[in-house]
Structure 1
Amino acid sequence: MEPTQPAEDLSLTQQLPIPEFGDPEDPSDEAPDGSDTVVLSLFPCTLEPGNPEPDAGASSPQGGSSLKHSTTLTNRQRGNEVSALPATLDCDNLINKPDEHGFTPLIWASAFGEIETVRFLLEWGADPHILAKERESALSLASMGGYTDIVGLLLERDVDINIYDWNGGTPLLYAVRGNHVKCVEALLARGADLTTEADSGYTPMDLAVALGYRKVQQVIENHILKLFQSNLVPADPE
């Protein structure tokens, strides 16, 4: 008899929104040859009528006019003191701000395997314990993608290794579902629970057998064997 396929509800049914990118710049929007060129400057410039004598080495724009830097003094040049500090960004709020799905920047970066972004966000105070609206976690999504290095970074922050989402999926179940052998090994080495069942009734071993993932099965069997060996108490010699 062929192995029964697991229920579809183990995998996330809602697709991660994919950012839309605009169309490439339309060449027809470019200014035709010979049109005026917009010049960006760090200082305000004013168009002075007439045709005063230009400075040495400076090029005069077409039309018999020249651009002149504004002579208006800034507050700093006048010596004025700032009466109020400018508004500052609330970094803690922004770095953990969720979107409409409840996904934070850290959850998104973990889901797409952006390890350097994950490392940067964690260093700047991103909270790895935050759950999205359907209880998705950064650890579960990293495990789903098989991003073992990110899984390790998150586990170093003492996240719940057995966190479950809306359908009972845990990081280990998602790693098994994706046939991510190294990720399964890492999660088991850190104490992931092998007895946890998804809402579909599958344990990690059940899922590996049903999907025919022999390497994952072997990893789980080796882990169970090590657990038995570590629990064996040598008999006292008499």
Structure 2
Amino acid sequence: MGDSGVPSACPQQDGDAALPECGDGGAESPQNCSAAPADSQSPSEAPALDGFPLKHSNTLTNRQRGNEVSALPATLDSENLVNKPDERGFTPLIWAAAFGEIETVRHLLEWGADPHALAKERESALALASMGGYTDIVTMLLDRDVDINTYDWNGGTPLLYAVRGNHVKCVEALLACGADLTEEADSGYTPMDLAVALGHKKVQQVIENHILKLFRNKKKKK
């Protein structure tokens, strides 16, 4: 967490989120090459074939036996799968938004992904897309009527994350859709406070122009 009290990067790939490694990087050499054939050994004396990528089984499959398939892929609950969270509560949509995968986000939404889903610490697809400055994804999510002012464990809102990242276009999109300029992070910073503290001049200008526009519209209504 930075001095502003708002995390400065997407979720770190710590031990829990790291990709699994495949051994030490290379296939092992077959061992016990002089061992007797597998069919002459008991199950407990099977040759060491861990280094081979494939293992052939002499057990007949249902298809080989002529049996009907017990469960067809069509019976799978695709909606539950597309919204299935991981151990941190991140759904596929949240991950795709966090890494700017625009087409993946689009397809997930078409397949029924929930844009309102929150992870265990209230992380949202909108907040993580704003953090990365992925304006197209932000717009896509806003079109689905997500909560534009949703906050996470740190009090961070999508607008605060966009300001911190100096993502001008993203800030403009969020303000145009009604993002609240008075929302504060747990550190007490408002979006304008944060822009000033970080020296983000263009973001400051965007916020100032938005405030002036709000005042003009208010006067017209009187």
Superposition TM-score, scaled by structure 2 size: 0.74
Which of structures 1 and 2 has the bigger CA Rg? 1
Q: 2:91 aligns with which of 89, 100, 104?
A: 104
- The match for 2:6 is 10
Quick one: structure 1 residues 234 and 160, their matched pair in 2 at CA, closer, same or farther if it must change by over 3 Å?
closer
CA displacement at 1:73 relative to structure 2: 8.4
CA distance in 2, matches of 1:150, 1:85: 36
Q: Which amino acid aligns with 1:89?
A: L
What does the per-residue CA deviation read over 1:27-61, in whole Å, with 9 as the maximum and x for residues that have no partner? Answer: 7759xxxxxxx9x9xxx9xxxxxxxxxxxxxxxxx
1:26 has 2:26 as partner: yes
- When structure 1 is superposed on structure 2, of 201-210 and 9-18 the one drifting more is 9-18
SS at 1:121 equivalent: helix
CA displacement at 1:12 relative to structure 2: 6.2
SS at 1:10 equivalent: coil
1:178-193 matches, within 5 Å, as 178-193=165-180
- The match for 1:136 is 123
CA displacement at 1:115 relative to structure 2: 0.6
Quick one: structure 1 residues 196 and 21, their matched pair in 2 at CA, closer, same or farther if it must change by over 3 Å?
same
SS at 2:126 equivalent: helix
CA displacement at 1:7 relative to structure 2: 2.9
- The match for 1:158 is 145
CA distance in 1, matches of 2:78, 2:208: 46
CA displacement at 1:10 relative to structure 2: 1.2
Structure 1 stretches of at least 4 aligned residues deviating more than 3 Å after TM superposition: 16-19, 21-25, 27-30, 72-75, 82-87
Q: Which amino acid aligns with 1:22?
A: E
Gaps of 5+ in 2: 31-51, 59-63
- The match for 2:200 is 213
Contact 2:155 2:186 in 1 (8 A): yes
Normalized per residue, the structure richer in helix is 2
- The match for 1:149 is 136
Identity %: 69
After superposition, the CA RMSD in angstroms is 2.9
SS at 2:123 equivalent: coil
- The match for 1:69 is none
Gaps of 5+ in 1: 1-5, 31-37, 45-71, 76-81
Superposition TM-score, scaled by structure 1 size: 0.70
CA distance in 1, matches of 2:163, 2:170: 8
1:113 has 2:100 as partner: yes
Quick one: structure 1 residues 223 and 234, their matched pair in 2 at CA, closer, same or farther if it must change by over 3 Å?
closer
CA displacement at 1:74 relative to structure 2: 4.2
Quick one: structure 1 residues 108 and 232, their matched pair in 2 at CA, closer, same or farther if it must change by over 3 Å?
same
What does the per-residue CA deviation read over 1:140-172, in whole Å, with 9 as the maximum and x for residues that have no partner? Answer: 000000000000110111000000001110000
Q: Which amino acid aligns with 1:179?
A: N
CA displacement at 1:233 relative to structure 2: 2.9
CA distance in 2, matches of 1:232, 1:29: 79
1:232 has 2:200 as partner: no
CA displacement at 1:20 relative to structure 2: 2.4
CA distance in 1, matches of 2:70, 2:21: 39
Q: 1:197 aligns with which of 174, 178, 184?
A: 184
SS at 2:149 equivalent: coil
Q: Which amino acid aligns with 2:190?
A: T
What is the number of equivalent residue pairs in this alignment?
Answer: 187
CA distance in 2, matches of 1:166, 1:73: 55
